[in-house]
Structure 1
Amino acid sequence: MPVRPAAAVAACLCLLLSCASHGVFAGETLRVGSKNFTESVILGEIAAGVGRQQGHAVEHRRQLGGTRILWRALEEGDIDLYPEYTGTLAQELLQMPGADEDALVDALATRGLRMTAPLGFDNTYALGMRADRALELQVDSISDLAAHPGLRIGLSNEFMQRADGWPGLSATYGLPQAANGLDHDLAYRGLESGAIDVIDLYSTDAEIAHYGLVVLDDDRRYFPSYQAVYLYREDLSMRAPDWTAALDAMAGRIDAATMRGLNARVKLGRETEARVAADWLGVEAPRAGGRMERIARRSLEHLQLVAVSLALALLVALPLGVVAARRPRLGQFVLSLTGLLQTLPSLAVFVFMIPLFGIGAGPAIAALFLYSLLPIVRNTHAGLTGIPRDLRETAAAIGLPSRTRLWRVELPIALGTILAGIKTAAVINVGTATLGALIGAGGYGQPILTGIRLDDIGMILEGAIPAALLALAVQGLFEAIERRLTPRGLRIAARQ
Structure 2
Amino acid sequence: MTLSRPARSRRARSALLATLIAAAAALAPSLAPGGERPLVVASKSDTEGALTGAMIALCLEDLGVPVTRRLGLGPTLIVRAALLSGEVDVYPEYTGNGAFFTGTETDPAWRDPQAAFERIRRADAARGLAWLARAPANNTWLIAVQGALARRDGLASMADFAAAVARGAIRLAASTEFVESPAALPAFEAAYGFHLPVERIVSLPGGDTAVTARAAAQGIGGVNAGMVYGTDGAIAALDLVVMSDPKAAQIVYEVAPVFRAEALARRPEIAERLARVFAGLDAATLRRLNGRISVDGELPETVAVDHLRRSGLIGSAAR
Question: Same fold per TM (> 0.5)?
Answer: yes
The aligned counterpart of 2:128 is: 112
Change (3 A) 1:120 1:136: closer
1:41 to 43, 46, 50: 50
Q: CA deviation at 1:52?
A: 0.0
1:62 to 71, 85, 99: 71
Q: CA deviation at 1:17?
A: 8.0
Q: Is the 8 A contact 1:156 1:183 kept in 2?
A: no
Change (3 A) 1:17 1:208: farther
Counterparts of 2:118 and 2:9, CA distance in 1: 54
Q: CA deviation at 1:215?
A: 2.0
- SS of aligned partner of 2:235: helix
The Cα offsets for residues 192-211 of structure 1, whole Å up to 9 and x where unpaired, read as 44447343222233322211
- SS of aligned partner of 2:279: coil
1:391-406 paired onto structure 2 within 5 Å: none
The aligned counterpart of 1:339 is: none
Asked which structure has the greater CA Rg, the reply is: 1
- Structure having the higher strand fraction is 2
Q: Is the 8 A contact 1:19 1:25 kept in 2?
A: no
Change (3 A) 1:268 1:248: same
Counterparts of 1:25 and 1:278, CA distance in 2: 23
- SS of aligned partner of 1:34: strand
Deviates more, 1:183-192 or 1:108-117: 183-192
The Cα offsets for residues 410-441 of structure 1, whole Å up to 9 and x where unpaired, read as xxxxxxxxxxxxxxxxxxxxxxxxxxxxxxxx
Q: CA deviation at 1:270?
A: 3.6
Asked whether 1:216 is paired with 2:243, we answer: yes
- SS of aligned partner of 1:209: coil
1:267 to 294, 307, 310: 294
2:208 to 178, 183, 187: 183
1:98 to 81, 89, 108: 108
Q: CA deviation at 1:178?
A: 6.8
Counterparts of 1:217 and 1:255, CA distance in 2: 15
Asked whether 1:206 is paired with 2:233, we answer: yes
Q: Give the count of matched residue pairs.
A: 284
- Structure having the higher helix fraction is 1
Counterparts of 1:10 and 1:137, CA distance in 2: 71
Q: Which runs of 5+ in 2 are unaligned?
A: 1-5, 32-36, 110-114, 310-314
1:26 to 25, 30, 55: 30
Q: Is the 8 A contact 2:90 2:257 kept in 1?
A: yes
The aligned counterpart of 2:274 is: 247
Change (3 A) 1:145 1:29: farther
With CA pairs under 8 Å and 6+ residues apart, which has the higher RCO, 1 or 2? Answer: 2
Counterparts of 2:189 and 2:147, CA distance in 1: 22
1:154 to 174, 184, 193: 174
Counterparts of 2:8 and 2:153, CA distance in 1: 72
1:62-461 paired onto structure 2 within 5 Å: 62-89=71-98, 91-96=99-104, 97-99=107-109, 100=115, 101-132=117-148, 140-141=160-161, 145=165, 151=171, 153-155=173-175, 164-165=183-184, 175=196, 176=198, 177=201, 179-180=203-204, 181-195=206-220, 197=223, 198-218=225-245, 221-250=248-277, 252-282=279-309, 283-284=315-316
Counterparts of 1:174 and 1:7, CA distance in 2: 64
The aligned counterpart of 1:324 is: none
Change (3 A) 1:202 1:10: farther
Counterparts of 1:260 and 1:18, CA distance in 2: 39
Counterparts of 1:194 and 1:17, CA distance in 2: 55
Q: Is the 8 A contact 2:135 2:254 kept in 1?
A: yes
Change (3 A) 1:262 1:11: same
- SS of aligned partner of 2:136: coil
Identity of aligned residues (%): 27
Q: Is the 8 A contact 1:275 1:285 kept in 2?
A: no
Counterparts of 1:150 and 1:87, CA distance in 2: 28
The aligned counterpart of 1:11 is: 16
- SS of aligned partner of 2:175: strand
Q: CA RMSD in A?
A: 4.0
The aligned counterpart of 2:312 is: none
